[in-house]
Structure formats: structure tokens, C-alpha cells
Amino acid sequence: MAEPIAPGLIDLSGDGPRLIGGRRKRDGKIVFPLPTGPEAANFDRITLQDRGTLWSYTVQRFRPKSPPYTGDDDERTFKPYALGYVELPDEVIVETRIEIDDFAQLKIGQPMALTLQRFRDDDTFTYAFKPV
């Protein structure tokens, strides 16, 4: 069975996938991802909304340097992809890949929905957002 790329990143127990964030106990500030290690004690685990609006974006048109990029492509097979920030209302702004074929269709403020993407060729997945 496929697993998320990191533990504590995605909740699959409800009606659909949700990102796991944290609400800071002292002031209620919401963060994503949920902190780990000693800092985790300062946060309550929450599941974030699965819908938001596109806050900002760009298109990655050349293959990033490795590391940290770990794509299963090379200079010949690399395909441009969209990256952006999706605002989850009254929660947090999430940095994410955006699933879309035609970059010209992206518009700031458009509705977006959480989706899952296979990560490379292995048996793991990550999150992305796509236009609704």
C-alpha cells in the first residue's frame, strides 16, 4: 500500500485526504506542517481544509539542481510544473505543487482543491492542489 512521503503530513482517515497542521497552544496560530521534535509539544494536531484559493504561483521551467531535487527525470525528460501558494481560509497559506496541464489557465484567487500525487516511481505519494 502506498504511504505518504513523510509521517504526520497527510490524514487519510476521513472522507478524503487532508493535510495535517498544528495550532499553537499559546496563541492559536496555525502552521503547516505540524512541527516535530521538542517543538511539537507546543502544538495541537489539526486537519486543515481541503479547499482554498490560489494566492500566488510560478512555473518551474528548468530542472532544479540535485540535491535537493529528487525527481525521476533528467534534463531531456524534465517537464515544467507549476508551484504556488494556496490560502486555506482562516488557517494558513500552503506551499504546493499545482496539478494543471495548461499554465495559462492559472489565475490568482481561483478556487483550488487538495489532491494526491505519486512521488517519483516508488510507492509513496505527496500532496498537491488543483483548480476546482
Q: What is the pLDDT of residue 87?
A: 98
Q: What is the pLDDT of residue 93?
A: 98
Q: For residues 4-31, give the mean pLDDT.
A: 94
Q: For residues 2-25, give the mean pLDDT.
A: 92
Q: What is the pLDDT of residue 1?
A: 58
Q: For residues 109-125, give the mean pLDDT.
A: 89
Predicted TM-score (pTM) of this structure: 0.91
pLDDT mean across residues, the chain: 93
CB atoms within 10 A of CB 36: 12
Q: Where residue 121 falls among pLDDT bands split at 50, 70, 90?
A: low
CA distance 114 to 17: 7
Q: For residues 34-55, give the mean pLDDT.
A: 97
Which runs of consecutive H residues, i.e. helices, occur in the chain? none
Q: For the CA atoms of the chain, what is the radius of gyration? A: 16
Cα 23 from chain centroid (whole Å): 18
All cell numbers assigned to 88:
486555506
Does residue 118 have a pLDDT over 90?
Answer: no
Residues near 62 by Cβ (< 8 Å), separated by ≥ 6?
Answer: 78, 80
